[in-house]
Structure 1
Amino acid sequence: MAQEDFDEIAETFEFLDDWEDRYRHVIELGRELAPMDDALKVPVNKVEGCASQVWLFPTIDGSGPQATFQFLGESDAMIVRGLIAVLHALYAGRPVAEVPGIDAAAQLKRLGLDEHLSSQRSNGVRAMVERIQLVAAAHLSAAKV
Structure 2
Amino acid sequence: MNIEYRPLLPEESQMYRHIRLESLQKFPESFGITYEEAIKNEKLRIEYDIENQSADRFVVGAFAEDRLIGICTFVKNEDGHGNIYQLYVKEAFQGNNAGARLIGKLIDEASTRFGDMEICLEVKKTNLKAYGLYKKLGFVEINGDLQNKDDSALVMRYEPD
Q: Which has the higher strand share?
A: 2
Q: What TM-score, normalized to structure 1?
A: 0.29
Q: What TM-score, normalized to structure 2?
A: 0.27
Q: Which has the higher helix share?
A: 1
Higher relative contact order structure (alpha carbons within 8 Å, sequence separation ≥ 6): 1
